[in-house]
Structure 1
């Protein structure tokens, strides 16, 4: 909402400028406003408000496009001439004034929102051919002021309807444009975050594989196969908006198995999960927390290292919990970009539908994440 108000602050300035002009003109008796004409005054207020506001809104455009600026100036001069003619004619609802103001409004709209106006130009022109013809017939041809006054309000509403439709349609188009930009920005941010996650993980895994090949370990082919499965998942499934939760569990299992192979010390790694079917989740969310547990816990602990992971579901909510111990020497560790990326992705993918809790008790680090998938 704040972004919307900042974008359209020109309409607030236009309102202020318009009111100042009206006060000055009424002070010098150059215009007269009949306070009993509520409908006419309301329609005129909205029309002139936008007439003053749109040039301010498009001021950068006007500076850059001098040709259109001259067109606007010409329309302003024409408007002044129409109003002067109306003031001197002493005629109630002068037809020339009505036709002049409508033509000026349509020309103005065609300049400031040309593509939007062209889309509905044929409909608008046909509408005004019939509505203005009827207005001239009632006001000029019959020449019965009493009969005209009986239909005055209906005629004014008919003549101003297209302008309200154009204004609302233009605002809706601008709103859709802003939403599209916001959606594209979100997707771009997610793509960037994923690109940061993948190299970070694979560099570590390739280092593990390198160590096994140097040792000529028989487990190297198994590592290559698991790494291949993980790369396939990351490349093909990682780009999806949602994946089955069971695929994410398989991915984590492969990751854990790769780490088990490389360690020569006793590590208590427990990965439990239940009721993971029929649930979907954004891919590559949990790997960040698991990777941090290995990096800051197991790899730096000298003995009794453990990682306990549990995934469960209940009533549309996916519960994820991971606990690991760490050496006191590394109590204040820097989780790097991984945890920061996790928080950003959760804000983008599950706004107000997730709960991330991180705490340390003694020498045990615990991260819990609840995601509402409904």
Structure 2
């Protein structure tokens, strides 16, 4: 699926072809008004091919303008080709010969030469195939147009011959666009993976250090909770290290991870905290790992830890036909009403944007001393 941002980036990268189209239309309008050229509207095929050919030849130098500035030798070659191109067009108009053979050869030479100058590596890859094709195609064209010396025979094949002569040029152009598009998508994919790796690495590690400190206190006190803490912490670290590197995990595994986090936090507090975690999910439902831990961390950090009494966290997680619904609500002290979640919440938003583009929704509601975050993810 092609998203809007990718399309806009592609159009921005090749905006020179839009400029080339505008410039071409201005040139044609001026030349027709000055009676320098005449366009026969009945020649639809010839006009279409001439339009595309001329548009591309004008657009390519604009697209590679920075390249042209840095490479004077190539610039002079392009200038010479431009002069040759206009010379071929003017000669064709003045000769008044139907499908002037010189014009066809001139346009083919100019078109392929532009490719060889602007995209030499790309042209070299297909040059033997294209040149071989044109040797055969032009030979047949000259045979029918000149050697047979019967214009009526040529006119019967005129459209087919023109299509044959122009097809390789447009295949080259479309394939070049396709190669550029593939390159753009590859760069975007690598960029997204790099950003995701960075965002995953920014998941707050302070929880593990705090838990280890609590574990030390429990062992000193010889508490019966110590083995249970070790087991849960081990499960969480294993999940973070191994499952955290996977693209998707079963939602039930993510739920176990959240439950372990909640249980370890409960051991830390000497006060009553109302924590409810209601969940019901489809067995085969999968999700990107470590998405919901960030809002849960924030609920403890900015809610439970700042309140002396009456603290609560209410969590709901369910699925319906491949759509995940997650909500978390907690209370906090009134001065914290301006709290937005910090870098953790921004990381969450960025991950959702990268992983589920146009397939997720996140909402935040803050009312009085209550904070609620809701996430909806379409996984299919």
TM-score (norm 2): 0.88
Task: Show the counterpart of 2:286.
Answer: 280
Shift in alpha-carbon separation, 1:141–1:232, aligned structure 2, 3 A: same
Q: Could you say what secondary structure the match of 1:344 adopts?
A: helix
How far apart, CA to CA, are the structure 1 residues paired with 2:182 and 2:229?
49
1:5, distance to aligned residue in structure 2 (A): 3.2
Shift in alpha-carbon separation, 1:96–1:289, aligned structure 2, 3 A: same
Q: Does the Cα contact within 8 Å between 2:337 and 2:368 map onto a contact in 1?
A: no
| Structural mapping, 1:161-310, within 5 Å | 161-197=167-203, 200=204, 202-214=205-217, 216-218=220-222, 219-220=225-226, 222-310=228-316
1:279, distance to aligned residue in structure 2 (A): 1.1
Q: Could you say what secondary structure the match of 2:326 adopts?
A: strand
Q: Could you say what secondary structure the match of 1:237 adopts?
A: helix
Is the deviation greater in 130-139 or in 29-38? 29-38
1:214, distance to aligned residue in structure 2 (A): 4.7
Task: Show the counterpart of 1:346.
Answer: 352
How far apart, CA to CA, are the structure 2 residues paired with 1:87 and 1:368?
69
| Structural mapping, 1:351-366, within 5 Å | 351-366=357-372
CA deviation digits over 1:234-254, x for unaligned, max 9?
A: 122112211111111121122
RMSD: 2.4
Q: Could you say what secondary structure the match of 2:271 adopts?
A: coil
CA deviation digits over 1:5-34, x for unaligned, max 9?
A: 332222232233333433454455544433
Q: List alignment gaps of at least 5 residues for structure 1.
A: none
CA deviation digits over 1:51-93, x for unaligned, max 9?
A: 1111111101111222322221232233344345445544322
Task: Show the counterpart of 2:149.
Answer: 143
How far apart, CA to CA, are the structure 1 residues paired with 2:318 and 2:158?
69
CA deviation digits over 1:141-191, x for unaligned, max 9?
A: 111122222222221121111122222222222222222222222222222
Counterpart selection for 1:95 from 80, 101, 104:
101
Shift in alpha-carbon separation, 1:276–1:25, aligned structure 2, 3 A: closer
TM-score (norm 1): 0.90
